[in-house]
Structure 1
C-alpha cells in the first residue's frame, strides 16, 4: 500500500421551486442574482469546472476541472435543476465522472445521495427505501452507471439505513470519525472489541460494517481536523498551506479522506475552488501521495477491520440527531434568546402527516397496483 488522498465534496441545494409554477421565484436575499440556485451556481458549481491556477504574477497557467479529481455527490434535486437551467455545468460534471472512470479502471468519482436531504434515522422504513431507490435511479439517469457509494445527508446514520442501502447494491458510505463505536480485525476469531473515538480511530483505512449478520457495507471515516479546517478554518486561504497540511497528516501508508460541503469551494469561501485546484495539481505531481476516489481505493485495499457504528449520530450535531426533532441546545450563539422548542411539535406534525398520506396512498393505490410500494 502507498499513500493516497481523497477529497469529497457534498454538493446539494434543496428544492426551491414553487410547487404550482415549478420555477424558483425571485429571492431578494440572493441579490444581485435572481435566486440562491443561480448565485451558488455562479460562485461555486461553474468555477469548480474551470478552476484557475495562477502564477506569482497573477497570470493563468492552467485551468482545472476540479470534478475530475475529487470524489463528489450532487443531490438529485440539484442535478435536476442543473439539467434544466445550467446544462453546460452539468455536462462538465458528467464528463468529469467519465474521465475518472477511465483513469480508475471503471471506478468513477461520483457517488449517489439519498434523494431528498432528509435525516434518514428519523424516517420510517418505507421512506428510507424510497429515498435510497430514488437516489440510485436519479444517479443512473445522469451518470449512466450504477453508483457504488451513497452519501447520507448530514452523515446521519442508523443500522437499518445501512442494511437497506446494502440491499440496493450500495457498497460504501462516508462518516465522521465521531460515529465509530468499536472495531476488531475481520479475520480474528476473538470476540474482543476495541472501543474507539474520533482521536483513536485509524482513519487511514476503510472498515467493514455488519448492520445485521447477513448484510455488510464498507465505511470510510474522514479526517476530522482537516475537514473542519476546510469548512470552518482558514485552509482555503492558501492552496500551498492546504496541500502541506494534508501531506503532514500522513503517519503511515493508507488514505487520508477529507469531506465537506462542496459549496465551501467558492461559495462559502471565495476563490476556494482555486485553493482546491492548487492542491489537486500539487498531488497530481507528488512523488509519493496520489489522488484517488473511494471506489477505486476500496477495489485495491478492502477492509481488514470490522466496525460498529454509533447509531442515530451525524456529522453536524453533537447530540446525535436531536437537532432535527427537539430542542437539543445546538446554537451558534448569535441570538442568545433563541431556542428550538418548536422542533418537537413540527417533527410530530410531519410524522402525523406521513401516516395520513400513507393511509390515503394504500387505499387508492390498491385500485391500480398489485403492490403499491413496488410502484416506486
Structure 2
C-alpha cells in the first residue's frame, strides 16, 4: 500500500488506515457500528497488516475506552509493525476535569490510553475537539512535555474550525512547541465543506488530513438509491442524528454517478467514493472501518487503481455545492479567483 507523508512531518502513513470504532462496540452510537471482540479484531489486524494498512485509529470515548482495550489486545506482540493513533478531549465523565485540553485532563487521558492500549508510547495523539476554556499555550505545553517524555510521538487535532487550528499553529510557532502534523476531519463526496477553508489552510501550513467517515456516515455504501427507502439493516436508522446531514437530492445525484462509474470500472460504490478522496489535496490517509472481514477486504479494494480525469470530473460536478460567504466570490467572480486560485490548483 502507498505510504504518504503526514503533512510536513517526517511520519509516513498508509493511504488507508483502520478505524477501530467498531471494536468493543457499546452504547447507541458505537453499538450500532459493531461489537468486534479481541479474537476477531486480531484477525482483522492480520488482514490489514498483510495489505500494508499499518495505522489504527481509535479514541478514549469509543465505547468508553473498550475500543482502545480491544485494539491493544489485537496488536499485542507486534507493536513495532503498527502505528497507533488515538484521541482525547471529549467528556469521559461529569467532573470539571473530565474533559478538554487542560494539563490535568490530557495527562490523565494519555496515561489511561497507554494502559488500555498496552503500550508505552502513542504514535499520533490528537485533540478530539477544540477546548475554548483552556489557553492554547497550556495545551501545547503539556503536549510538548508528553512528546519529550516519549509518551507520544506526533500530535494533531480533530474537528477544529479554521481559526482554531491556525491559532494553535501560530502559538506553536511563537513558543517553539510541537506543531500539529495532522487534522482528522469529516470529508466525503456528500460532505465537501472541508475544501472551503480547512484544505487551503492545510496546504499553506503543511497539515495532513486524516479523513473520517469517507462514506458520508454510511450513505455511500451502495445500498441507498433514488426512490427507495433506507434499507432496514442500515445503521442510519439508529445513528443519523449523530452525523452530518445530507439533503436527499444531493445524495442521489452523487449516487447516480457512482453507479455509472461502478458499471464502467467494475469497482464497488464504496471503493470509488474512497478512491476519489485519495486524490484530493492534503489527504494523507482515509480511515475506513469494518464490521467483519468481508467489509474490510472490500474497503482495501479502494487502493491500487485510479479513476481517470473524466471520471473524477463527473464526480466533482455531481457533488459540487455552492460555498458560503466569504468563499463563494472566489468561485464565481473572476477578479477574486485570480487572486485566490482553487485549493486543488495550489496543491
TM-score, with normalisation over the residues of structure 2?
Answer: 0.44
Greater relative contact order, per chain length (Cα 8 Å cut-off, separation 6+): 1
Please identify the structure whose Cα radius of gyration is greater. 1
TM-score, with normalisation over the residues of structure 1?
Answer: 0.41
Q: Which has the higher strand share?
A: 1
